[in-house]
Amino acid sequence: MTMLHEDTGVALWRRVADSLERGIADGHYRQGSKLPSETEIAELHGVNRHTVRRAIATLAERGLVRAERGSGTFVDSKRLTYPLRSRTRFSEIVGASGHEASGQLIATATEAAMSEIAAHLKIKAGTSLVRIDAMRAADGTPLCVSTNFLPAARFSDAGLIYERKRSMTKTLAHYGIRDYRRAWTRLTATIADASDALRLKLPVGSPVLVVDSLDVDTKGRPILTARTRFAAERVQFTVET
């Protein structure tokens, strides 16, 4: 709204910030690595050092970088890249990016299927379901909380199994399911509610990515439908088309 440049409607410092954020997001500047010095960035973008400082300040506020007087500004982004594909397994994905995956049961119960969930799982409404609420973390930091529904007929006591195994893949393996795949994924974002914020250790008002999904076995039979809420600031999804 104020001082513009080349009739683009965007402030200079914001353009610099966007550029840097992009560089961090796509791995051009890796986690822990040093950004170019403020004067270098200023020269690169053809702006004053103050402008760069303001850009960096906004990134630092959001926790993407950390400035150290005398040595430099370092990337401090723990955002995990999480591919959405046919084979989507939390522990695999987290493990592949060099972090230690862990899971924790929040609650489990047996419920009657609501019509919407029943439709997804291709069972009759009112059929018995196992509900599993779980929190998943990478290197101890909570990444997501998920609410899972499984047909109780096939997966009775799945909650108890999950509590022991702390992994959905292992729980399903206990029932003889050695492979399964993602049938569909739907995704949006919202503000974390109080309990999710607490479990994800997020400040109130933080955005979460809400992922609805259905997993099916090798024969295409639905086995699991879930709603998973990811701490948006800790994850970045990639879509493989």
**DSSP-based three-state secondary structure for 165:** helix
Name residues contacting a copy of itself, limited to 103-122 (CB under 8 A): 106-112, 114-117, 119-120
Closest CA to 89 of 200, 228, 198, 222: 228
Binding flag, residue 5, DNA (CB under 7 A): yes
- Cβ(63)–Cβ(52) under 8 Å? no
Binding flag, residue 239, DNA (CB under 7 A): no
State the binding partner of 205 from a copy of itself, DNA, none, CB within 5 to 8 A by kind: a copy of itself
- Cβ(159)–Cβ(130) under 8 Å? yes
Binding flag, residue 37, DNA (CB under 7 A): yes
- Cβ(147)–Cβ(227) under 8 Å? yes
**DSSP-based three-state secondary structure for 3:** coil
| Spatial distance between the Cα atoms of 145 and 37, rounded to a whole number of angstroms | 39
> Can you name the residues that pair with 188 across neighbouring β-strands?
210
Binding flag, residue 137, DNA (CB under 7 A): no
State the binding partner of 157 from a copy of itself, DNA, none, CB within 5 to 8 A by kind: none
| Spatial distance between the Cα atoms of 170 and 132, rounded to a whole number of angstroms | 14
Binding flag, residue 70, DNA (CB under 7 A): yes
Q: Residue numbers of the site for a copy of itself (CB under 8 A)? A: 1, 5-10, 15, 18-19, 22-23, 25-26, 28, 44-46, 62, 79, 81, 84-86, 106-112, 114-117, 119-120, 125, 131, 133, 147, 182, 184-191, 195, 205, 207-209, 212, 227, 232-233, 235-241
Q: Residue numbers of the site for DNA (CB under 7 A)? A: 1-5, 11-14, 35, 37-40, 46-48, 50-51, 53-54, 56, 67-73
